[in-house]
Amino acid sequence: MQIDSAIFITSNTDYQKCPPPFKPEYAFIGRSNVGKSSLINSLVQKKDLAKTSAKPGKTQTINHFLVNDKWYIADLPGFGYAAVSKTKKASFSLMIEEFMLNRENLMCVFVLVDSRLEPQAIDVDFIDWLGRKGIPFVIVFTKADKKGVVAVQKNIDVFTQTLLQTWEELPQIFVTSAEKGLGRNEMLNFIAETNKTFEKPIGKTLSKPK
Ligand code: GTP
Ligand code: MG
């Protein structure tokens, strides 16, 4: 897929204030600092579209971007950031849960996992939660440029083995580097294919009856 345009639309904490659900949408979620905002910028090839930071906890709201005037990206706050207060953590997870459970046009959740690490309970728990709720997702390993191919593959193998303890089937997996553009074409192809299956939410239409 060629990217012709990518623009910022809204930033808010309430899924009900998100843009109208008339276009397919993909949400980026994962632990703080895993590289959600960076991967979004790399996908659309706009360096500063989503704000990134070396310090975790940068994205604190639901941020919507419209790509090619055709599909949305939702950049979400990270989970599991120790320095965020308990109250804030609870309001983050409520915001994310409500969004995931109620967003009608959500085609797929991209669960970002740091390819440098052994499986983290918080990632596995979140994946299990998505599974229980029947929310479609894929796993996206990030920062693959930071370690050698062998080390990355080893972590992916351990991660998938962990998932196979509770899952019969594995979800689709992407290996990416925002820095090097690795996995970019694969993700864009996946989005292009998934966009074809989008149906507008029933009972809501932009055009008024004649
Ligand atoms: P929060 O918004 O705080 O939850 O973080 P985030 O998941 O959006 O992470 P962000 O994109 O802000 O990136 C965090 C840090 O990781 C930044 O310093 C990025 O430059 C770095 N980073 C992200 N992706 C990559 C990558 O693919 N390779 C390398 N080497 N660094 C990366
Ligand atoms: Mg971010």
- pLDDT of 88 reads 67
pLDDT per residue, tens digit, the chain (210 aa), is 999 999 999 999 888 999 999 999 999 999 999 999 999 999 999 999 999 888 887 778 899 999 999 999 999 988 776 566 677 667 677 889 999 999 999 999 999 999 999 999 999 999 999 999 999 999 999 999 999 999 999 999 999 999 999 899 999 999 999 999 999 999 999 999 999 999 877 665 555 554
Q: Is the CB of 58 under 6 A from ligand 1?
A: yes
**Domain residue ranges of the chain, discontinuous segments joined by +:** 6-195
- Angle made by CA atoms 196, 199, 200, in degrees to the nearest 5: 135
CA nearest ligand 1 atom 26, residue: 143
Strand ranges (E), the chain: 6-12, 25-30, 62-67, 71-75, 106-114, 137-142, 173-175
Model confidence pLDDT, tens digit, residues 32-58 = 999 999 999 999 999 999 998 888 877
Residue that is written with structure tokens 């843009």 in the block: 19
Closest ligand to the CA of 39: 1
CB atoms near residue 165 (< 10 Å)? 7
CA nearest ligand 1 atom 12, residue: 52
DSSP per position, 52-111? --SSS----SEEEEEETTTEEEEE-PPB--TTS-HHHHHHHHHHHHHHHHH-TTEEEEEE
- pLDDT of 172 reads 95
Q: Is the CB of 171 under 6 A from ligand 1?
A: no
Q: Is the CB of 21 under 6 A from ligand 1?
A: no
CA nearest ligand 1 atom 29, residue: 143
CA nearest ligand 1 atom 19, residue: 54
Domain 6-195 sits in which CATH superfamily?
P-loop containing nucleotide triphosphate hydrolases (3.40.50.300)
Model confidence pLDDT, tens digit, residues 27-36 = 999 999 999 9
Q: Is the CB of 41 under 6 A from ligand 1?
A: no
Tell me how far the alpha carbon of residue 133 lies from the centroid of ligand 2, in angstroms: 24
Minimum-distance ligand 1 atom for the alpha carbon of 144: 27
CA nearest ligand 1 atom 24, residue: 35
